[in-house]
Homo-oligomer: A and B are copies of this chain.
Amino acid sequence: MSKNAIIASTSTLHGGDYLEYLLPELGIHFKNCKTILFIPFARPSGITHEEYTKKVAVAFAKIGKEVNGIHEFDDYSTAIKNAEGIFTGGGNTFLLVAQLYENKIMNLLAEMVQSGIPYLGTSAGSNICGLTMQTTNDMPIVYPPSFKTLGLIPFNLNPHYLDADVQSKHMGETRETRIKEFHSFNSIPVLGLREGSWLEVKGDTILLKGNLSARLFLQNQIPEEIVSGSDLSLLK
The interface of chain A, by Cβ under 8 A from chain B, is 10-15, 43-46, 91-92, 94-95, 133-143, 146-147, 159-160, 162, 169-173, 177-186, 195
Contact = CB atoms under 8 A, between A and B. Distances in A.
Contact of A143 (B146, B171, B173): B146
Contact of A14 (B43, B92, B169, B180): B169
Nearest to A98: B185
A140 B146 contact: no
A139 B182 contact: yes
Contacts of A137: 139, 172-173
A142 to B, nearest CB: 6
A39 to B, nearest CB: 17
Contacts of A134: 139-142
Contacts of A142: 134, 185
A20 to B, nearest CB: 12
Main secondary structure of the interface of A (DSSP, over half): loop
7 tightest A-B contacts by CB?
A46-B184, A160-B172, A14-B169, A141-B182, A139-B178, A92-B181, A134-B140
Contacts of A160: 170-172
Contacts of A172: 10, 137, 159-160, 162, 195
A162 to B, nearest CB: 6
Nearest to A141: B182
A46 B180 contact: yes
Contact of A43 (B139, B170, B184): B184
14 contacts: A10-B171, A10-B172, A14-B169, A46-B184, A92-B178, A134-B139, A137-B172, A138-B173, A139-B181, A139-B182, A141-B181, A141-B184, A160-B171, A172-B195
B95 A181 contact: yes
